[in-house]
Amino acid sequence: MNKLNNLIGFIGIGIMGKPMARNLIKAGYKLIIYDINIGLLEELKKDGASIASSILEIGSKCSTIITMLPNSPESKEVILGEKGLIRTAKKNTLIIDMSSIDPIVSIEMGKKLSAKSIDFLDAPVSGGENGAINGTLAIMVGGKKEVFNRAIPLFKIMGSSHILVGKIGAGNFAKLSNQIIVAVNIAAVSEALILAKKAGLPLISLCNAIKGGLAGSKVLDSKAPMMIDKNFTPGFKIKLHKKDMQNVLNAGSSLNIPLPLSAQLLEILKSLTSSGNGELDHSGIVKFYENISGVKIM
């Protein structure tokens, strides 16, 4: 992929999209960007990006387009809507939706784009804001192998791993599987810390004692210190994890399988969001356990 001759479109300059786009600019790619938040666009303009007047403009000018949006309705509107990319994108354009959305929607978008001879990948990520900033995201991809190969140079800049999991939709099924494991792990760490606190154990010593065994995990290493320090500055917000877990349940329903732990975690995340904690990092799940137990971590 020629960095100088190919203009990359990037739609969605939020917590994740902004550092991802910035890393592409730093690597020498020419970007044209769009977001409904004009202030975010101006920040990347200083880094060398061009600002598009509309989604239609990006569709008409770019052979490769990345979207990083909040949820399924936004992805569907940007890609398939009346003013969406499908209206102006040329044949053989590559659209990479890196949003975490319902995989059934990814499959629908892929079919409609394919009918217009537009290539598509669903490529959600894991790693939070720090991973986006450091270019160490884990990228889970669904699509055709030859289309995936076109995107590898970009994936190498934005992430430390990029795995083709299967056909379109597989990327988001993989991301939902990831989100189940992360949510359940955070809840387990929260519950364990509440137990240890009530028993009078020093929590830092507890974490050091168990992290070398089977209980050790990236969640324990990264989220337990945040819980102990009451530092809930978001790397990934509770309200976004709630969205993902709702998509998990939707996917489970479409496949007619029970997901009891996921259902319980969704209710926990709903409770936290309705009580005003939706903007906190998902390590804030510990607040639910504090509330029901009457035990404060610190």
C-alpha distances in Å from residue 36, one per residue of 46, 109, 279: 18, 22, 20
| Rg (the chain; Cα; Å) | 20
> Torsions phi, psi of 30, nearest 5?
-90, 125
How long is the chain? 298
**Residue whose entry in the numeric block shows the structure tokens 């699509």:** 143
Task: Confirm if 134 and 159 have CB atoms less than 8 A apart.
Answer: no
The catalytic position among 18, 175, 239, 243 is: 175
Is 175 one of the annotated active-site residues of the chain?
A: yes
Joined together, the tokens standing for residue 21 give 């786009």
Continuous segment of H or E residues that includes residue 217: none
Residue 124 and residue 138: Cα distance in Å, rounded? 8
Residue 248 and residue 101: Cα distance in Å, rounded? 10
Active site residues: 175
